[in-house]
Amino acid sequence: MRLRVKLFAFLTRYRVGDAHRENLSSGTPFEVDLPEGATLADLLRALQVPDEEVKMTFVNGLAQPEDWQLKDGDEVGIFPPIAGG
């Protein structure tokens, strides 16, 4: 299945292994192919984003836990701890 993925803030540094992604700025979507049934945790592993640096993961605009099962066409946003006001 194919996902549209966005990394934000500090996490943009984990665009490893894909020359196309290296210059992408925060929040610019890119596509990732994963086997059917993969979870958010599988996606983080595939992107080599360390678990402990991730605070919030959104699938189609809704926050979901790491064991959330993804499906083809999902939009995923991955954030480190951030805040403001």
Task: State in Å, rounded, how far the first CA of the chain is from the last one.
Answer: 37
**Helix locations, 1-85, DSSP H:** 40-47
Q: Which among 74, 20, 70, 21 has a CA at the least distance from the CA of 49?
A: 21
Based on the shown chain and the rule CB under 8 A, indicate whether residue 55 belongs to the binding site for another protein: yes
Min separation Cβ 60 and another protein, Å: 8
Among residues 35 and 85, whose Cβ is nearest to another protein? 85
The single residue among 12, 40, 43, 49 that binds another protein, judged by CB under 8 A, is: 12
* Contact positions vs another protein (CB under 8 A): 6, 8-10, 12, 25-28, 55-56, 58, 61-63, 77, 79-85
